[in-house]
Amino acid sequence: MVVYGVALLSACLVVGMLIGELLGVWLNVEANVGGVGIAMLFLVVASNSKRFKTLIEGASGRGIEFWSAMYIPIVVAMAARQNVVAAFEGGIIAIVAGVAAVSVSFALVPLLSKIGTGKTVQNNEVDA
Amino acid sequence: MELLETVFVRNSLLVAFAVVGATLWISYLVADKFTHGRIHGSAIAITLGLLAAYFGGKLTGGNNGVADLTLLGGIGLMGGGMMRDFAIVATAFGVKVSELKKAGLAGVISILAGVIVSFIVGALVALAYGYTDPVEITTIGAGAVTYIVGPVTGSALGASSEIIALSVAAGLVKSILVMIGTPIIAKHIGLNNPQSAMVFGGLMGTTSGVAAGLAATDPKLVPYGAMTATFYTGLGCLLGPSILFFIVRAFV
């Protein structure tokens, strides 16, 4: 059943969010600490395990794949509801700080990608 | 007109699906016909979304872009946190545990490096613009981390609302720039495998920016980038009002 997959997906997210909130309280920060990431780990474990077969195979799996495929449309909707006006009118310092942070971070991607692999990453000329 | 409004408002989410679907259809058509696939259709759609958000915000004076228009209220629900997180988690379906393990260490290091580097860059910009109060410098630096870390840090330290607004703006600029810039820069920074996507997510950290940027680059990379990015804001909120503030106070 399609809904089994959707239910598994929902359960992963809700439990992940709950753990993220608990981590936030425990660390004394006003934020959800990695709730989505934890939920993703749950789903990865479930989708790689035989025990959850009925929840991930056949029609159940299509229930998860549907939401995975809806990802790009949802991201487009997300872009359309950003406060773009505030970003532009925040003043020059906001733009400079944002641009500088992104440029430096882009430049670090090829450097940190090498950690733990022992081999160099292809196309690593940096011109960010 | 009133009739139209009633139907649109009552079925707001369905209107959103239809409008976003049409936007994607046009975007893929443009990508195919005019750029011959050089620019990804979803990159065009996301840019159109941001443009619409700008005009929506100008028109209504609200904070939610196009979602503040009565007829397009459903965009707010469709593009809101709940649906975004739901779809992001769904992309993890079928991800191999071995890929995650391979990039695990690099991913964790990149989250820490990402928060600290963005903070330092933001703080330096604040210093360059003549800010001398450690609370203000820390808040602006935290804004360069993400637009959530900025206000969380600012309110914890008692920064003024103008400074908090500035930090939110810096975070928004970052997020929008990552959305648009990632597909353009991807080739040059080797962003073409799960490992570099995890590092990328950890370094950038803005969940919306990473989510949209990777979608427009290669949807297969989305789960890896999103996984690390979601830990970033939490870490930023942890470090911003504490260690990072103490460091700034010691230097200024």
Give the model's confidence band at A125: pLDDT under 50 very low, under 70 low, under 90 confident, else very high. Answer: very low
- Contact assignment for A74 to B172 by CB distance below 8 Å: no
* pLDDT reading at A122 higher than 50: no
When pLDDT is averaged across residues A74-101 and rounded to a whole number, the result is: 84
Instruction: Per residue of chain B (252 residues), give pLDDT as tens.
Output: 789 889 999 999 999 999 999 999 999 899 888 877 667 777 788 888 888 989 999 999 888 889 999 899 999 999 888 898 898 888 888 777 777 777 778 888 888 999 999 999 999 999 998 889 998 999 999 999 988 888 888 877 888 777 887 888 888 888 888 988 898 888 888 888 888 898 999 999 888 889 889 988 888 888 888 888 888 887 887 788 888 888 988 887
- Contact assignment for B49 to A79 by CB distance below 8 Å: yes
Helix (H, G, I), strand (E, B) or coil at B116: helix
Give which of B86, B116, B185 to mutate to test A binding, by max A Cβ within 10 Å.
Answer: B86
When pLDDT is averaged across residues A92-101 and rounded to a whole number, the result is: 89
Are B54 and B124 within one domain? Answer: no
pLDDT of residue B41: 79
pLDDT of residue B200: 92
Full domain range(s) for residue B73 = 2-79
Are B17 and B119 within one domain? Answer: no
**Residues of B whose CB is below 8 A from A33:** 231, 234-235, 237-238
B37: left (phi over 0), alpha (psi -120 to 50) or beta: left
Are B125 and B220 within one domain? Answer: yes
* pLDDT reading at A11 higher than 90: yes
Are B187 and B222 within one domain? Answer: yes
| Cβ(B95)–Cβ(A118) below 8 Å | no
Taking the C-alpha atoms of residue A32 and residue A50, their distance in angstroms, rounded to an integer, is: 30
Residues 6+ apart with CB under 8 A from A92: none
Taking the C-alpha atoms of residue B57 and residue A49, their distance in angstroms, rounded to an integer, is: 46
Residue B85 lies in a domain: no
The ipTM of this complex is 0.82
Are B59 and B145 within one domain? Answer: no
Taking the C-alpha atoms of residue B69 and residue B67, their distance in angstroms, rounded to an integer, is: 5
Select from B79, B104, B190 the Cβ nearest to the Cβ of A122: B190
How far apart are the CA of A45 and the nearest CA of chain B, in angstroms? 7
C-alpha dist (Å) from residue B122 to B52, B116, B136, B141, B233: 28, 10, 11, 4, 15
Residue B122 lies in a domain: yes
Task: Report the Cα–Cα distance between both ends of chain A, in Å, rounded.
Answer: 47
Residue B93 lies in a domain: no
Residue B84 lies in a domain: no
Residue in A5, A7, A8 with CA at minimum distance from that of residue A62: A5
Buried/exposed code over B105-117 (b: 16+ C-beta within 10 A; e: otherwise): ebbebbbebbbbb
- Contact assignment for B215 to A75 by CB distance below 8 Å: yes
When pLDDT is averaged across residues A28-33 and rounded to a whole number, the result is: 72
Taking the C-alpha atoms of residue B99 and residue A106, their distance in angstroms, rounded to an integer, is: 22
Are B71 and B157 within one domain? Answer: no
Are B110 and B216 within one domain? Answer: yes
When pLDDT is averaged across residues A94-112 and rounded to a whole number, the result is: 88
Q: Which two tokens stand for residue B190?
A: 């080797």
How far apart are the CA of A101 and the nearest CA of chain B, in angstroms? 5
- Nearest residue of chain A to residue B110 (CA atoms): A112
Are B127 and B182 within one domain? Answer: yes
pLDDT of residue B167: 85
Residue B157 lies in a domain: yes
Count of structural domains, chain B:
2
Residue B234 lies in a domain: yes
How far apart are the CA of B251 and the nearest CA of chain A, in angstroms? 20
| Cβ(B245)–Cβ(B155) below 8 Å | no
- What pLDDT digit, counting tens, does each position of A34-82 carry? 788 788 889 988 888 888 888 888 888 899 999 988 988 998 898 888 8
Are B122 and B62 within one domain? Answer: no
Taking the C-alpha atoms of residue B196 and residue B200, their distance in angstroms, rounded to an integer, is: 6
Residue B138 lies in a domain: yes
**Is B42's Cβ below 8 Å from some Cβ in A?**
yes
pLDDT of residue A117: 61
